Structure 1
Amino acid sequence: MQSLAPSKRLLTIHHIEFYVSNALQKISIKKNHCNIYFNIIKASYWYCMNFGFRRFAIKENEQWRSIAIRNGNIVFIFTTCKEYDEDFVKHIATHGDSIKNIAFVVDDINATVEQIVGAGGFLEKPVEIISDEYGSIKVTMIDSPECDVSHSLLDPKTYNGFFLPKFESFGDSSELLETLYDYCKDFQKKLCFITIFNLKCSENLMPNFRQEISITSIDHFVMGFPMNSSHSASAFYHRIFDLQEIWSADGSIFNSNSSAMKISLLANNTKTIQIGLVEPIPKTLRVRSQIQEFLDYNSGAGVQHVAFLVEDITETAERMKYRGVKFVDIPYEYYEDLQERLANSSVKITESFEKGFGDGNVKALYSAVEKSQEKRGTLIKEL
């Protein structure tokens, strides 16, 4: 296939949209006959509390409510339906709260759509212009035949607003934290605060909690597919979006005594968009690999994880841990293997880890998650 002209390529990820069943939840805190009610934005607040995102925009009408949060160059939108919508109900019933749409920025949407349709792509809806007092954007949506995750294409060149048309500025989520903490003056109330937000119990809670968590951008996202279907997904992303395969590995590299997986990484020419495609390779009937566990949980293909790019991974991880994020333990065997590899390597460590993706890094993560499966009791299937 002939490569797209530069103006027709995907430029970057604009936002990721989740469909969630309950965007708003009212929590009542009662103490000494005093009632304080807070509207907790349930789905979005988990990311705000744990990963340092901040809400900044909202769009709402009689049927839909969408709340946008951001950290660095990452924007997540959480959308819920207030009235019946067949597509929304089907997605929630099948997959639960999960990613529905990953939106890409393009430079010339008309030329891009022409190329996509010519390559056999299907538009969920035609190109439309969405406007408000700050200008307009052109948008369309591409249907994926491989899973229920869609891709919006946005051409925002003629829009001068702070985000997207129809969205209004929404208060900073840190305001709620300050209000809640002011209420929690004594230790018993503080315990209530800690319990609600799954934080570590500490007398120095708010000073540490006020420390920002800085995330630069989305490094990549990974989509899980059933066995023998990731190849067709790769062909789709290459044919429709001109993404090129820059790295791949099969089950001979990523495997354990129990399971294995196949993986390929596709990217645009600037690597501002990187998509990993994985599928399980079963070794025994009794073992459920981590990829298969995701597919079972998600009831089919979908986005398995989104990877954040950060400047200081050690400091960022510590701050996330303080807020309640639980990280997967890296098996000790990885460090033994690392020492052996470095002993026979002339490459500097800084160079070896700059690439992000690599056989050793991904294999270590694969082993770590499998250890986590063993602890949770989900690795061995009941017959």
Structure 2
Amino acid sequence: MSVIEREPSTIPAGQSAVRLDGIDYVELYVGNAYQAAHFYRTMFGFKPVARAGMETGMRDRLSIVMVQGDIRLVITSGLNPDSPISRHVALHGDGVKDVAFRVDDVAAAFQTAVERGARAVAEPQVHEDERGRVVRATIGAPGDTVHSLVERHGYAATLFPGFEAITNAPATHAVGFTEVDHVAVSMESGHLDEWIQFYKEVLGFHQSHHEMVWTKNSSMNSKVVEDPSGKIKFPIQEPSKAGTNSQVQEYLNFNHGSGAQHVAFLCDDICFTVRTIRENGVRFLEVPGTYYEVLEERVGAIQPAVMAEYQELGILVDSDEDGRLMQIFSEPVEARPTMFVEVIERRGARGFGSGNIKALFEAVERQQERRGTI
């Protein structure tokens, strides 16, 4: 079941919402930043452009900034086993720690968010040198993830004070990613509505979709929140059938709590992008060939040559009242069956592939059977 719900936010009349201007960066905490940066460069075409570590005066971590299109990833490792970064990785494995938002005024945004109920993680701090000034504050998000609020003056979006540009990076071949389409979050059963209310009441988002998905082994309840511009989107899901080990529950078990289950990267030509990253070694979930036998009944006519390419590459197709979208999901990108990557192309569609979610669940469950976790 899929319901589109384009409702207004719940910000009271007369109160201005926290004004966000898109995602500034997504930070991953990982065990080895050098190796992870190599992985995201060679597999997904991200270019390393800046770094900070002991050589730049950063004593507790190594961070590498990587870019593609309008996407900025920050890959961070701790430098000692007792650091919060290292403890986070030990508990959760490699994965998303921070989905940071651009704002015009960090102090005002932070104050507003905290007054509305956000958990304060770090108060506004000014980082300044001869190149410019960056102000940053941080609030809590589901699980151990956070949202930083970033205000820039003079600093390019690829740099922070204390970072140095990387000028000798190996050749990087972009795969066509243009921006972060959405970040999907999984959480324990019973907490979905509380976090939907958080994004609506604290940050002025609105709920745009609601999905219920069932298979023979499991079920999922999912709702999507978006900021007013539609630039920032969070599908949030919880397992909705007690006693089963769905792919959402498997994520929660291995992540040891709520967190970002996948990041979806937008592209303009999904066939080119998927073919490129498959050649780079990325593995994708497989769907049965029968999926394509009934696809046109659901989404409309598709040119035979295009259909053949979609089937060859394993690309899923869905449609809504605004258009069509194509998507595909990688296998987990680390040792634990937790974080994965979605590739998505939108041709007007504003949905998240509701017609494909059951096919995705069943594909993941086939992998779970091989892992012995279902």
- Which residue of structure 2 aligns with residue 281 of structure 1? 240
The letter of the residue matching 2:230 is K
The root-mean-square deviation of aligned C-alpha atoms, in Å, is 2.6
How has the CA–CA distance of structure 1 residues 168 and 338 changed in structure 2, closer, same or farther, with 3 Å as cutoff? same
- Aligned ranges 1:25-174 → 2 under 5 Å: 41-60=34-53, 61-144=58-141, 146-159=142-155, 163-174=159-170
Give, in whole Å, the separation in 1 of the partners of 2:157 and 2:27.
Answer: 19
SS at match of 2:108: helix
Give, in whole Å, the separation in 1 of the partners of 2:321 and 2:287.
Answer: 18
Report % sequence identity.
26
SS at match of 2:148: strand
Shift of residue 101, structure 1, vs aligned partner: 1.1
Give, in whole Å, the separation in 2 of the partners of 1:342 and 1:77.
Answer: 37
Q: For 2:208, which of 246, 259, 262 is the aligned residue?
A: 246
Is 1:247–1:264's contact at 8 Å kept on the other side of the alignment?
A: yes
Give, in whole Å, the separation in 2 of the partners of 1:88 and 1:233.
Answer: 24
SS at match of 1:16: strand
Give, in whole Å, the separation in 1 of the partners of 2:92 and 2:235.
Answer: 20
SS at match of 2:102: strand
SS at match of 1:226: coil
The letter of the residue matching 1:170 is I
Name the TM-score, length of structure 1 as normaliser. Answer: 0.77
Query: CA offsets per residue over residues 249-290 of structure 1, 9 Å max, x none?
Result: 22xxx222221111111111111111110111227x4x4211
SS at match of 1:147: coil
Is 1:222–1:305's contact at 8 Å kept on the other side of the alignment?
A: yes
Shift of residue 379, structure 1, vs aligned partner: 7.7
How has the CA–CA distance of structure 1 residues 352 and 88 changed in structure 2, closer, same or farther, with 3 Å as cutoff? closer
How has the CA–CA distance of structure 1 residues 172 and 336 changed in structure 2, closer, same or farther, with 3 Å as cutoff? farther
The letter of the residue matching 2:20 is L
- Which residue of structure 2 aligns with residue 370 of structure 1? 362
Is 2:218–2:246's contact at 8 Å kept on the other side of the alignment?
A: yes
Is 1:289–1:370's contact at 8 Å kept on the other side of the alignment?
A: no
Give, in whole Å, the separation in 2 of the partners of 1:348 and 1:242.
Answer: 25
The letter of the residue matching 1:273 is I
Query: CA offsets per residue over residues 352-371 of structure 1, 9 Å max, x none?
Result: 43354547x23424423422
Is 1:289–1:379's contact at 8 Å kept on the other side of the alignment?
A: no
How has the CA–CA distance of structure 1 residues 335 and 172 changed in structure 2, closer, same or farther, with 3 Å as cutoff? farther
The letter of the residue matching 1:315 is F
Is 1:51–1:213's contact at 8 Å kept on the other side of the alignment?
A: yes
* Structure 2 gaps, min length 5: 1-10, 302-318, 326-346
More helix by share: 1
Give, in whole Å, the separation in 1 of the partners of 2:222 and 2:36.
Answer: 30
* Aligned residue pairs, count: 321
SS at match of 2:245: coil
Give, in whole Å, the separation in 2 of the partners of 1:343 and 1:162.
Answer: 42
Give, in whole Å, the separation in 2 of the partners of 1:64 and 1:343.
Answer: 51
How has the CA–CA distance of structure 1 residues 327 and 227 changed in structure 2, closer, same or farther, with 3 Å as cutoff? same
**Greater Cα shift, 116-125 or 364-373:** 364-373
Is 1:135–1:161's contact at 8 Å kept on the other side of the alignment?
A: no
Is 2:63–2:77's contact at 8 Å kept on the other side of the alignment?
A: yes
How has the CA–CA distance of structure 1 residues 87 and 356 changed in structure 2, closer, same or farther, with 3 Å as cutoff? farther
Q: Does 1:269 align with 2:228?
A: yes
How has the CA–CA distance of structure 1 residues 342 and 71 changed in structure 2, closer, same or farther, with 3 Å as cutoff? closer
* Structure 1 gaps, min length 5: 24-40, 176-209
Give, in whole Å, the separation in 1 of the partners of 2:300 and 2:19.
Answer: 42
How has the CA–CA distance of structure 1 residues 212 and 118 changed in structure 2, closer, same or farther, with 3 Å as cutoff? closer
- Which residue of structure 2 aligns with residue 30 of structure 1? none
Give, in whole Å, the separation in 1 of the partners of 2:95 and 2:294.
Answer: 36
Give, in whole Å, the separation in 1 of the partners of 2:271 and 2:358.
Answer: 20
Is 2:237–2:248's contact at 8 Å kept on the other side of the alignment?
A: yes
How has the CA–CA distance of structure 1 residues 49 and 119 changed in structure 2, closer, same or farther, with 3 Å as cutoff? same
Give, in whole Å, the separation in 2 of the partners of 1:371 and 1:109.
Answer: 42
- Which residue of structure 1 aligns with residue 316 of structure 2? none
Shift of residue 161, structure 1, vs aligned partner: 7.5
- Which residue of structure 2 aligns with residue 334 of structure 1? 291
Shift of residue 335, structure 1, vs aligned partner: 2.6
Q: For 2:323, which of 351, 357, 365 is the aligned residue?
A: 351
Shift of residue 18, structure 1, vs aligned partner: 1.2
SS at match of 1:371: helix
How has the CA–CA distance of structure 1 residues 214 and 161 changed in structure 2, closer, same or farther, with 3 Å as cutoff? closer
Q: Does 1:295 align with 2:252?
A: yes
Give, in whole Å, the separation in 2 of the partners of 1:121 and 1:76.
Answer: 24
Give, in whole Å, the separation in 1 of the partners of 2:320 and 2:116.
Answer: 43
Is 1:56–1:172's contact at 8 Å kept on the other side of the alignment?
A: no
